[in-house]
Amino acid sequence: MIYLFGLLAMNHWPIWAQSKPFWLPAPESTTAPVMDRVFYLILAICSFFFLVIVGLMVLFVIRYRRRPGVEPGRTATHHNTLEIVWTVIPLLIVGLIFYKGFAAYMDMQTAPPGCYEIRVSARQWAWQFIYPNGHVDENLHVPVDEPVRLIMTSEDVIHGIAIPAFRVKMDLVPGMYTSTWFRAVRPGTYDLYCTEFCGDDHSDMLALVVVHGPGDFEKWLKDAANFLKTLPPAEAGEMLYRRRGCSQCHSTDGTAGTGPSFLGIYGKTHSMAGGESVVVDDNYIRESILEPQKKIRAGYQPVMATYQGIVSDDDITALIEFIKKLNQDNPTP
């Protein structure tokens, strides 16, 4: 108990609660240590009462076990002082947990003014991070030591964004916007997960958070946004293939995923679910991107959402060149 009160009174927490904890990733955002303190506070309280309750239980089981010749006495029905004590103490503890938790939650929810804003769009099963200059990326790139606000929505079902190193977690809900914010403290690369079960490939709905050092972020963003103009179309197409989330469902090595593989499909004739045959040419690829429900390849589910309004004509041209190039790079014998 003394230890517990010591923990509460302290402004500086023990080193094991501050630096790299063994079951959590090292805290890499300004809010992470605040969250960790609440976590360790609740853990300490729970551990203390677990030991007291289980300890007393074991002691009583042994001490007051039934023995031959000993009759159970009358049990007390009321003990006012005891009942007040065991009501008031938990009430104070729960009040403290609420206060600490709510304060940390408000910290996490209330973005400081002047945040750098990034839009996040989730779909089965990919992330899209949309930057103020229109650039779309499959990974989240952020500047170090600057507050970043994510404004998020989903295109289909509920997804959840979680960046364990930042202690950030928030749901993305179709038809509404949610937001969260963080300030990264160190350049580096961290994991980002989807934490709502959103279908078959939920566990593959991963991305990276790249925290850029001072000045690097602006340079990265400028280069990243220009790739369609600076790269050859097939290479730009490959970038789009990864960034726009095509890679989540369409492989490039021939393995069937949620959708057919892109390998070797160009120029081939395929049978559709409706029974007709279709040659995979430029127009078919374009139609499949903009109106994916129109012709479904036999053996696959009609699960793809349209990219109408999301990819431009230049994007589609680059993607077609990328699919074509897969044929040239892997000639069939």
- What is the smallest separation between the CB atom of 210 and ligand CUA, expressed in angstroms? 20
178 contacts 146 by C-beta, under 8 angstroms: no
For ligand CUA, how many residues bind (rule: CB under 6 A)?
9
Residue that has been written with the tokens 């006012």 in this structure: 80
**Residue 221 has which token pair?**
């963003």
* Contact track, ligand CUA, 84-123, x by CB under 6 A: --------------------------------------x-
For ligand CUA, the closer CB: 192 or 194: 194
- Give the Cα separation of 206 and 242 in Å (integer): 12
- Distances from the Cα of 195 to the Cαs of 24, 109, 124, 159, 203, in angstroms? 16, 18, 13, 7, 9
Segment lying near ligand CUA (by CB under 6 A), choices 191-199, 224-232, 263-271, 294-302? 191-199
- Give the Cα separation of 171 and 159 in Å (integer): 6
Instruction: State yes or no: residue 159 binds ligand CUA (CB under 6 A).
Output: yes
- What is the smallest separation between the CB atom of 200 and ligand CUA, expressed in angstroms? 10
For ligand CUA, the closer CB: 173 or 290: 173
- What is the smallest separation between the CB atom of 27 and ligand CUA, expressed in angstroms? 24
**Residue 246 has which token pair?**
């095509």
- Give the Cα separation of 319 and 291 in Å (integer): 15
Residue that has been written with the tokens 């999301």 in this structure: 310
Instruction: State yes or no: residue 140 binds ligand CUA (CB under 6 A).
Output: no
For ligand CUA, the closer CB: 171 or 282: 171
Instruction: State yes or no: residue 243 binds ligand CUA (CB under 6 A).
Output: no
Q: How many CB atoms lie within 10 A of CB 174?
A: 13
- Give the Cα separation of 266 and 79 in Å (integer): 83
**Residue 95 has which token pair?**
């009040």
Q: Are strands 277-279 and 269-271 parallel, antiparallel or unpaired?
A: antiparallel
- 41-80 binders of ligand CUA (CB under 6 A): none
- What is the smallest separation between the CB atom of 139 and ligand CUA, expressed in angstroms? 16
For ligand CUA, the closer CB: 154 or 252: 154
- In the chain, helix, strand, coil percent, each to 5? 40, 20, 40
- What is the smallest separation between the CB atom of 239 and ligand CUA, expressed in angstroms? 22
For ligand CUA, the closer CB: 25 or 199: 199
- What is the smallest separation between the CB atom of 192 and ligand CUA, expressed in angstroms? 11
- 192-231 binders of ligand CUA (CB under 6 A): 194, 196-198, 202, 205
- What is the smallest separation between the CB atom of 241 and ligand CUA, expressed in angstroms? 19
User: In 3D, which of 129, 329, 316 has the Cα closest to residue 228?
Assistant: 316
For ligand CUA, the closer CB: 100 or 202: 202
Which residues 6+ apart lie within 8 Å of 324 measured at CB? 234, 266
Which residues in this chain contact ligand CUA in the complex, by CB under 6 A?
A: 122, 125, 159, 194, 196-198, 202, 205
